[in-house]
Structure 1
Amino acid sequence: MSASSSGPTTSLPFWRTKPLNLMSPSEWESLCDGCGKCCLHKLEDEDTGKIHYTNVACQMLNLGTCGCKDYPNRQKHIPDCVQLDASKVEALKWLPSTCAYRLVAENKPLPWWHPLITGDRNSVHEAGASVRGRAIAESRAGPLDRHIVTWPA
């Protein structure tokens, strides 16, 4: 009889082993940390192409939960709402640096506060990594160029 010592088995989480384009719909959706940063209006400098983030939220963003008010039907309300998919992640330079889709595409780890790491959907808010308490409604904003901020990136 021979003893085998294989040691403890640790399997990597799906986001470390699967490319974005092979994730199931539920895996894909679970990557979203619920920060709301992608739902802030952005301005692009026509001369330099630089993206400027604002603290102005899309009208569909619930400022308390940082989730879309009608996610399944958002494009009916906002026709130019970007339907994020694996083929767009690398091309969308405005995705925040903490965005899990961007991080996975760049083979970087998720932040410690990401709900997939903590098991808690509120950890993104508790860590101060969401737009909760920092964004304003589109209907109250006025000109976007008066609302440029540096924190979402």
Structure 2
Amino acid sequence: MAAETSFWKTKTLAQMNQREWESLCDGCGRCCLQKLLDDETEEVFYTRVICRYLDKDRRCGCYETRHIKVPECVWLKPEDVEQFHWLPATCSYRLIAEGKELPDWHPLVSGRRDSLVDAGIAVTCQQLVKDDEVPEDDWQEHIIQWVEQ
């Protein structure tokens, strides 16, 4: 990739325009997995339970209205960067916030949208169940142990 297109190396999250901000998302879908929080340790556990609106291409089927259809859907904003600890360690927003490089499989680096599938990062590499198919009380039975890349 040309240096002029590597905006994530020269700008903070707060300095990025909307197009740049949105392009940071690698499309893995991990943030669309239901998560459980240990109240004592504040550790976040990801489950195989996925938002019912995420499609097979790891895109939100109601992106523009997601906060109406799913009020608990988290809206990532630069001003909330201090709270990004719950995002997976592979998440671009978290990596940039922590001053780290984007991995080679990130679409902005590789130039390929599906390079994260090849790397095993995408949620579609897991056996998933939609959140409207599993009672919330049973989510703990679907915890995923990620092998971070």
Return the TM-score normalized by structure 1: 0.86
Q: CA deviation at 1:133?
A: 3.8
RMSD: 1.8
Tell me what 1:5 maps to.
none
Contact 1:96–1:152 (CA<8 Å) still a contact in 2?
A: no
Equivalent residue letter for 2:88:
P
Query: Partner letter of residue 105 of structure 2?
Result: W
SS of match in other structure, 2:133:
helix
Is 2:70 aligned against 1:75?
no
Q: Confirm or deny: 8 A CA contact 2:85 2:94 kept in the other structure.
A: no
Instruction: Tell me, in whole angstroms, the C-alpha distance in 2 between the residues paired with 1:17 and 1:105.
Output: 13
State whether residues 104 and 110 of structure 2, in contact with CA within 8 Å, keep that contact through their aligned partners in structure 1: yes
Moved over 3 A (4+): 9-12
Greater gyration radius: 1
Whether 1:57 and 2:50 are equivalent positions in the alignment is: yes
TM-score w.r.t. the length of structure 2 is: 0.89
Unaligned runs of 5+ in 1: 1-8
Change in Cα spacing, 1:140 to 1:56, as seen in structure 2 (3 Å) is same
Once residues 147 and 122 of structure 2 are traced to their aligned partners in structure 1, the CA distance between those partners, rounded to angstroms, is 8
Q: What aligned pairs does 1:29-108 form with structure 2 within 5 A after superposition? A: 29-62=22-55, 64-108=56-100
Q: Which amino acid counterpart does residue 139 of structure 2 have in structure 1?
A: L
- Call closer, same or farther: CA 1:152–1:34 in 2, change over 3 Å: farther
The residue number in structure 1 matching 2:112 is 120
Q: Deviation of residue 29 (structure 1)?
A: 0.3
Could you tell me how far apart the structure 2 residues matched to 1:147 and 1:61 are? 17
Q: Which AA in structure 2 matches 1:79?
A: P
The alpha-carbon distance between structure 1 residues 10 and 115, as it changes in their structure 2 partners (threshold 3 A), is: closer
Match of 1:136 among 129, 138, 143: 129
Give the corresponding residue for 1:145.
140
Residue 53 of structure 1 aligns to a residue in which SS? strand
Aligned residues: 144
Distance 1:117 1:91 in 2: 25
Q: CA deviation at 1:152?
A: 7.3
Shift of 1:12: 7.2
Q: Give the 3 Å change call, closer, same or farther, for CA 152–38 of structure 1 in structure 2.
A: farther
Closer, same or farther in 2 for the Cα pair 1:67/1:96, shift >3 Å? same
Q: Distance in 1 between matches of 2:41 and 2:109?
A: 37
User: Which structure features the higher share of helix residues?
Assistant: 2
